[in-house]
Amino acid sequence: MSVDPQVEAFLKSPWAQLLPVEHLTATMLRTMVKQNPLPVLAPAIHATRDLAVPGARGTIRARLYRPSAARKLPLIVYFHGGGFVICDIDVYDDLCRLLANHSGCAVVSVEYRLSPEVPFPGPLEDCYSALKYLAQQGESLDVDAARLAVAGDSAGGNLATAAAQLSRDRHGPALRYQALIYPALDPACDSGSMRELAEGFLLSRAVMRWYWGCYLAAPADAVNPLAAPLRADVTGLPPATVITAEFDPLRDEGEAYVDRLRGAGVAVVGRRYLGMIHGFVSLPHVTAVANHALADVAADLRAALTE
């Protein structure tokens, strides 16, 4: 199949003509992203509330989304993408509003510290610290911490499944589900799709290597299963949904993770969205498939947390 025509037009648009990220500093990239923001849809939602939650080394920002006035909603803890280097809860406001509305669950979006200033495992420890705190604050947040899931896209997908590992190994919060949207799982950057789709599809192999170089503090981190979940023992992890995009360099590692989970006896749903590129779920103004895919993920989360 070929790239979706609407996505192809987007790839030719000025927004997609970014300078080669691998030649920038993290500060330069963050400035460039702020100067070229995506359209803001601001879908209506019942309520939002900004929170201060404990990270590994101090307080970090988070935002609670409530899709309805119902009490004791299930909770999805969301970790944003951005290669461990860019983005924040404000950039992901639209996506989290939609995820809450589609799922009928409360969503808390966590703003972990970014690399390279804070390399692995700092961002992951922030995410796990926030997850523990939110699970403990069910009463004060009026959510049901017994119906808890983690979710994330790209780098956030990595952090979500790594946080699930920590929760399993440290006897932390019991998770019912994990939803991983085109997760970054393999610092080697050497899969078939990584080579086949190395450039020309917004995310490139060179950019991914640059992101990993920012996140990993030492060569040994590249084989640490908490940084490279494809190397992890996934036995006992919560059931999962993993979605991939046909024209995403990360496609094959996400699909290999589906196979790894399934081989370990973990119930998993794997979906590949044809004609799509990395990041498409954040592009509802480009393609209707974005909203369809997020609704699919939300339906899986809703089924796991409410049925």
**Annotation marks residue 233 as catalytic:** no
| pLDDT of the residue at 37 | 84
Please state the domain count of the chain: 1
109, 115, 154, 193: the catalytic one is 154
| pLDDT of the residue at 17 | 74
Residues 47-69: what's their mean pLDDT?
98
pLDDT at 276 over 90: yes
Residue type, 169: D
List, for residues 246-260, the tens digit of each pLDDT value.
999 999 999 999 999
- Rg value, the chain, Cα: 18
Domain that residue 97 falls in: 5-306
**Annotation marks residue 278 as catalytic:** yes
pLDDT at 13 over 90: no
93, 278, 282, 300: the catalytic one is 278
List, for residues 109-160, the tens digit of each pLDDT value.
999 999 999 999 999 999 999 999 999 999 999 999 999 999 999 999 999 9
List, for residues 192-228, the tens digit of each pLDDT value.
999 999 999 999 999 999 999 999 999 999 999 999 9
**Annotation marks residue 191 as catalytic:** no
> What CATH number does the domain containing 266 carry?
3.40.50.1820
Q: How far apart are CA 189 and CA 205, in angstroms?
A: 7
Report the SS3 class of residue 47. Answer: strand
| pLDDT of the residue at 23 | 81
| pLDDT of the residue at 299 | 98
The helix/strand count (H/E) of the chain reads as 10, 8
| pLDDT of the residue at 190 | 97
- Residue 19 banded pLDDT, cuts 50, 70, 90: low
| pLDDT of the residue at 15 | 75
Say what the pTM is: 0.97
93, 186, 248, 252: the catalytic one is 248
3-state secondary structure 160-209: HHHHHHHHHHCCCCCCCEEEEECCCCCCCCCCHHHHHCCCCCCCCHHHHH
